[in-house]
Amino acid sequence: MDRSYIPPVISGELGRNAPHVAEDRNFYARGPRAPSLFQIDGLPVVGLIEEFGSPLFVFSEYDIRTKAKRIREAFRSRYQKTSFAWSLKTNYLGAICKILQSEGWIAEVVSQFEYEKARQIGFEGNEIVFNGPYKPRAAMKTAIEEGALIQIDNWDELSLAEELVAQHGKVVDIGLRVWLDPEIKPVWSKFGFALENGEAERAAARILENPNLQLHTLHCHIGTYILAPNAYAVTAKKLLHLRDALRARYHYLVPCLNLGGGFPSHSLLHGFAGPAEQVVPPIEAFATAITDVLRELPPGEQPLLRLETGRYLVDEAGYLLSTVIAVKGVNRPALTDGGLSARAYKERMILNEDSRIGYVVDAGINLLYTSAWYQFEILPARTIDAPPVTSRIYGSLCMAIDVIRDHVDLPPLETGDILTIHPVGAYNVTQWMQFIQYRPALVLISNDGKADIIRARETLEDISGPERMPEHLTR
């Protein structure tokens, strides 16, 4: 037999119950070329790093505005009375909020900090929906005085609202947060009043019987990254049922139905096989599911529909650019001769999957909190003419769990290579933490192709500034 013949590998790993078994099996099915991403909205990735340093968050104004237009048209073309609130906790950078404000969004906040941030950015009190399980007395008092719509989460909060409104002396619009079974799992029961056991109706009754309060909204936010449009139809029907019950008792029709947020972006959860287009329903499917329910009502009884959109609008607008600072792996392949032979690499993977090549990059999960759930796409910023192999991307933290992707197909990279990590626009720049490193700069690429810093890289003063030294330690 010809000694150079490589028999096909049909071996023990076929039935192995390991996460990489499919990828091992398909090793030879991998394409010979690796995709890359050179530019974002016309600006070269390498040039952005040269100008602003690494790592760097980059946001596309074009992408945010395109999504805003699409969701607005998806809903308003089917149901004119739709109002949109921007979920600040998804991304509360002033510049991002301003873009959405200019697209017609009001603000949705879930804490005192976010309330103050929304006001600072330029939302008026009456352009704020105030959610969240903890609204401190002072924050609620301000929100009432400034005309924000408070959505009550629990009985203690309702008591506080009643007390503050009595002092306020004017009738105040109020919303009621409800939780219910939308017929998908998991059911979020932490927030609001239960629908199914009558608790929500009792809370609504208490509001309706209070002459200082006007029940403006029935609200329910069923979760995030919801892939089932029908869950919203179920939610809308159940809230309308509550609205009917209240009308029968009080001859009062609650004017607004708020179905929260939760529409998915094109990110994929770990374990999902792409492409996202085959996993994530289009926004129009959600719009149809919701508005079909509302349009069954006689026009005079159709409520204002409010949505609190977060993830859908901003996730794909955000990129993190990061530089490879080290190449790791047992017997790392020589890069000069095109890497290991496929056979040698394959043997190594079978013998010890940790022989997988690893790259340390200058960003970490401190900046990518959501990497625990989502598998980001990672692409090099130059063409590399070599087949992709399964690689691991380590972050730059001194923590073993700091792995951005445990297995991702990449061509052989070198120190200094720039990678784009995408989509990362939702939640990461609010949930990030400073741990052992400065948080990087953020730039926004405007529609005319200009890159502006919208948050500067942190400095030592930003971090040490709030610290105080007790007198006895200064001696």
Ligand X SMILES: *Cc1c(COP(=O)(O)O)cnc(C)c1O
Question: Using the rule CB under 6 A, is 380 a contact of ligand X?
Answer: no
Nearer to ligand X, 260 or 333 (CB): 260
Q: How far is the CB of 427 from ligand X (least distance, A)?
A: 7
CB nearer to ligand X: pick between 220 and 381: 220
Binder to ligand X among 91, 217, 309, 437 (CB under 6 A)?
A: 309
- Does 192 help bind ligand X (rule: CB under 6 A)? no
Asked if 260 is part of the footprint of ligand X (rule: CB under 6 A), the reply reads yes
Q: Find the shortest distance in angstroms from Cβ 235 to ligand X.
A: 13
Binding flag, residue 117, ligand X (CB under 6 A): no
CB 94, CB 454: distance < 8 Å: yes
**What minimum distance in Å lies between the beta carbon of 425 and ligand X?**
11
We find the least distance from the C-beta atom of residue 217 to ligand X, in angstroms, to be 12
Residue pointed to by tokens 């991702």: 408
> Least CB distance from residue 87 to ligand X, whole Å?
3
- Name the 3-class secondary structure at 436: coil
Q: Tokens 């972050």 — which residue?
A: 395
Spatial contact of 323 and 418, defined as CB atoms under 8 Å apart = yes
Number of residues that bind ligand X (CB under 6 A): 18
Query: Could you say whether residue 422 binds ligand X (CB under 6 A)?
Result: no
Choice from 110, 218, 419, 445 touching ligand X (CB under 6 A): 110
Query: ∠ CA(459), CA(400), CA(363), 5° rounding?
Result: 35
Instruction: Classify 272 as helix, strand or coil.
Output: coil
3-state secondary structure 128-172: EEECCCCCCHHHHHHHHHCCCEEEECCHHHHHHHHHHHHHHCCCE
User: Measured from the CB atom, is 219 or 422 closer to ligand X?
Assistant: 219
Distances (CA, A) of 158 to 39, 117, 145, 167, 234: 51, 24, 16, 14, 26
Q: Does 221 contact ligand X by CB under 6 A?
A: yes
CB of 207 to ligand X, least distance (A): 19
Q: Does 262 bind ligand X (CB under 6 A)?
A: yes
Give the DSSP H/E element, type plus range, for residue 299. Answer: none
- Contact between 392 and ligand X by CB under 6 A: the answer reads no
Nearer to ligand X, 327 or 424 (CB): 424
Q: How far is the CB of 180 from ligand X (least distance, A)?
A: 14
CA 123-128-134 angle, to 5 degrees, is 125
Closest CA to 457 of 46, 38, 53, 21: 53
Instruction: Tell me: does residue 310 bind ligand X (CB under 6 A).
Output: yes
Closest by Cα among 168, 167, 129, 134 to 149: 129
Residues that bind ligand X (CB under 6 A): 87, 89-90, 108, 110, 131, 221, 224, 260-263, 308-312, 426
